[in-house]
Amino acid sequence: MAFDHLPEIDPVRLRERRERVFLVLAGLFLGTLAMLNILGISRFIALASFTPGESGSWTWGEWGEVSFALAVGVLPYPLTFLCTDLISEFYGRRRANFMVFVGLILNLWVVFILWLGGVLPVVPVMDGATGLPGPGDPQYAFYAIRKLAFGAVMASMAAYLVAQFVDVQLFHYWKKLTSGKALWLRNNGSTVVSQAVDTVAVILITHYYAGALPVAEDRPVGGQLMLFIATGYVFKLAVALIDTPLIYAAVAWLKPYLRIDPIDVTHDGPADPLLTVATGAVVARGSDDDPDDNDPDHVDLDGLDQRLGRSVWRDD
């Protein structure tokens, strides 16, 4: 066995350990998702700009004629792909897909609360041109964020669903193709493709549906959109390459900590340690109808039932 050299661990504690790690990864994923959808396009960060000419000049951290900019929501977004890859690696495709679905529900919940908060009294008088209260109104900040978040969430929901499901499916496709080897391929390959899908979809929907991109009206829109797509994708690609050693380190630490070999993880996830112990004990006892409690191979199934809080195994 892969973990025979490690100290024995109580199956109940092992199960709790696995659930805690899953909770941390899912919490990071869902928390990041909620944060980036609220703050997503509230600010654009100008990384650099280029001014064409005979010599051409670059300016860092300023807007210019040709600007390379990122929405603030893009900054934490690569973390979501790292979380889905780790959950896919250790907990299987079913849990990863379920977490992606929960993320969609969370998006809808964010939209509902923002909508509800904006329609309950007292609703301020709105400016007809901007659809917002006057700048001096104390509620201006909420309605400004609300307007931008509606655009960001609607733009990202379709892209999010497609990109995250593509990431999970490609991750498991390459895992099966390489028989569980070449972690760098399935981590980077799935992320590179899925983030390309996400970036293109988010930029196009944000512009054509929400109209929230800072585009100059005196220049062709197509070129500006391509620049937004290229800047966002290059940033995500760079982060994806940087996180390769991070996912290798995480897998190297989690593999013995969780007692899970990713090669053995199926579509439904790893084997339940409690059921494994109970099943092994029953098989070992065979037809012995009156097991000796002092037998070292004997496992107290009723005790396991009580500690788990439900029936684990019954050999009536």
Report if residue 55 sits inside a domain.
Answer: yes
Q: pLDDT band at residue 62, thresholds of 50, 70 and 90?
A: confident
Report if residue 3 sits inside a domain.
Answer: no
- Please tell me whether residues 255 and 289 are part of one structural domain: no
Q: What is the pTM of this model?
A: 0.75
**DSSP assignment of 43-99:** -EEEEEEEE-SSS-EEEETS--SEEEEEEGGGTTHHHHHHHHHHHHHHHHHHHHHHH
- Please tell me whether residues 289 and 179 are part of one structural domain: no
- Please tell me whether residues 288 and 170 are part of one structural domain: no
- Please tell me whether residues 83 and 208 are part of one structural domain: yes
- Please tell me whether residues 136 and 70 are part of one structural domain: yes
Report if residue 28 sits inside a domain.
Answer: yes
Report if residue 141 sits inside a domain.
Answer: yes
Three-state DSSP class for residue 136: coil
Report the half-sphere exposure of 242 (CA within 13 A, side-chain side).
Answer: 8
- Please tell me whether residues 287 and 183 are part of one structural domain: no
Q: What is the DSSP letter of 23?
A: H
Res 252: pLDDT: 93
Token representation of residue 219: 């220049």
| Cα separation, 144 vs 163, whole angstroms | 28
Residue range 121-140, pLDDT digits in tens? 989 999 888 888 988 899 99
| Cα separation, 196 vs 211, whole angstroms | 21
- Please tell me whether residues 200 and 111 are part of one structural domain: yes
- Please tell me whether residues 299 and 155 are part of one structural domain: no
Q: What is the DSSP letter of 269?
A: B
Res 302: pLDDT: 55
Residue range 140-152, pLDDT digits in tens? 989 988 888 887 7
Report if residue 313 sits inside a domain.
Answer: no
Three-state DSSP class for residue 266: strand
Average pLDDT, the chain: 80
- Please tell me whether residues 77 and 210 are part of one structural domain: yes
Q: Domain span at residue 293?
A: 273-308
- Please tell me whether residues 236 and 304 are part of one structural domain: no
- Please tell me whether residues 144 and 204 are part of one structural domain: yes
- Please tell me whether residues 231 and 296 are part of one structural domain: no
* Helical packing angle, 11-39 and 77-119, nearest 10°: 60
Domain total in the chain = 2
Report if residue 177 sits inside a domain.
Answer: yes
| Cα separation, 178 vs 176, whole angstroms | 6
